């Protein structure tokens, strides 16, 4: 059974509560209001409602904690040491296309350190949780990153900046990295949810995952899942600034090999 700290319990309950109407929305996509934040960057009434429910539930249980959420930004609380980082739907494009691969992602930071994380796919009812020092779990199952040590046996996930996301030079660099990785491994997957990509690394399904240009809400919970499953998470310089948005998650054996491959490809 996973260890659920009181705060993690609150986060799990909030994700379940917000997940129920989200499933109803997913089954009636034609009723949603959809607007654009930028080219090919969509937000729907489901993203907004999910975020509202999550913030209400979390702040009701932990009044004063600060919140940083994708659709409404920073909400400063009186407690400066704790902050929830929320992505109400990670994988909005999948969601809006009826692809059942998206999730709710909630992380809790204490004094700038990730201490609790939840990634919840309401379609599959997969609840990934992690508490710093207490491991990562998928429902009742303890998670461990894959043990594969060789690139040719490895399945690697990534994300490629879509239209409107960053300059063309970044897209070109990502495509060069994809070419380098796909020609040395068992293959690449681009599933469209950074939080679930991290969760799949934690679960040993993917051997590694890298992406550039993410936001803290995309990956905060996922980073803790991977670390607590025994994996290594760094930025793409090999440093620890992972919430800035350039990320590589994998096991210790593959990390130096993948980092070199990705960095050399982008030069």
Query: Closest residue (Cβ) to ligand IPD?
Result: 159
Contact between 117 and ligand IPD per CB under 6 A: no
Q: Is 87 annotated as a binding residue?
A: yes
Binding site partner of 122, from ligand IPD, Ca ion, none, Cβ cut-off 5-8 A by kind: none
Q: Write down the residue that tokens 């054996």 correspond to.
A: 253
Span of 187-195, 223-231, 236-244, 248-256 interacting with ligand IPD by CB under 6 A: 187-195
Q: Are 9 and 79 in contact (CB under 8 A)?
A: no
Interface pattern 198-217 for ligand IPD (x via CB under 6 A): -------------x--x---
Q: Write down the residue that tokens 């990634």 correspond to.
A: 119
Q: Is 89 annotated as a binding residue?
A: yes
Pairing type for strands 79-90 and 65-69 reads: parallel
**Residue 49: half-sphere exposure toward Cβ, Cα within 13 Å:** 16
Binding site partner of 48, from ligand IPD, Ca ion, none, Cβ cut-off 5-8 A by kind: none
SS3 assignment, position 36: strand
The residue among 218 and 235 lying less far from ligand IPD, judged by its C-beta, is 218
What whole-number distance in Å separates Cα of residue 172 and Cα of residue 29? Answer: 33
Q: Are 51 and 142 in contact (CB under 8 A)?
A: no
| Segment 145 to 164, residues that bind ligand IPD, using CB under 6 A | 159
Pairing type for strands 73-75 and 65-69 reads: antiparallel
DSSP state of 143: P
65: which strand partners?
79
The residue among 109 and 211 lying less far from ligand IPD, judged by its C-beta, is 211
Q: Candidates 57, 90, 109, 131: give the one binding ligand IPD (CB under 6 A).
A: 90
The residue among 102 and 137 lying less far from ligand IPD, judged by its C-beta, is 102
- Residue ranges for the known binding site for Mg(2+) are 70, 87, 89-90, 218
């Amino acid at each position: 059974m996973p260890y659920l700290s009181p705060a993690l319990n609150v986060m799990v309950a909030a994700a379940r509560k917000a997940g129920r109407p989200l499933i109803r929305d997913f089954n009636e996509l034609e009723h949603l209001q959809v607007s654009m934040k930028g080219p090919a960057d969509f937000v729907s009434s489901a993203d907004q409602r999910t975020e509202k429910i999550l913030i209400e539930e979390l702040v009701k249980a932990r009044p004063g904690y600060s919140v940083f959420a994708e659709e409404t930004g920073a909400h400063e609380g009186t407690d400066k040491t704790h902050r929830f980082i929320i992505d109400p739907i990670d994988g909005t494009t999948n969601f809006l296309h009826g692809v059942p691969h998206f999730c709710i992602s909630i992380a809790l930071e204490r004094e700038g350190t990730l201490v609790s994380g939840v990634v919840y796919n309401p379609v599959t009812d997969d609840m990934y949780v992690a508490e710093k020092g207490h491991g990562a779990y998928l429902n009742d199952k303890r998670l461990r990153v894959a043990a594969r040590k060789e690139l040719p046996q490895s399945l690697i996930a990534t994300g490629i900046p879509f239209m409107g996301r960053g300059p063309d030079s970044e897209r070109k660099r990502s495509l060069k990295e994809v070419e380098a990785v796909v020609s040395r491994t068992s293959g690449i997957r681009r599933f469209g949810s950074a939080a679930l990509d991290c969760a799949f690394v934690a679960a040993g399904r993917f051997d590694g995952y890298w992406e550039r240009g993410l936001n803290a809400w995309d990956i905060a919970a996922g980073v803790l899942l991977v670390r607590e499953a025994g994996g290594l998470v760094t930025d793409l310089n090999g440093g620890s600034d992972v919430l800035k948005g350039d990320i590589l998650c994998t096991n210790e054996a593959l990390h130096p090999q993948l980092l070199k491959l990705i960095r050399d490809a982008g030069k």
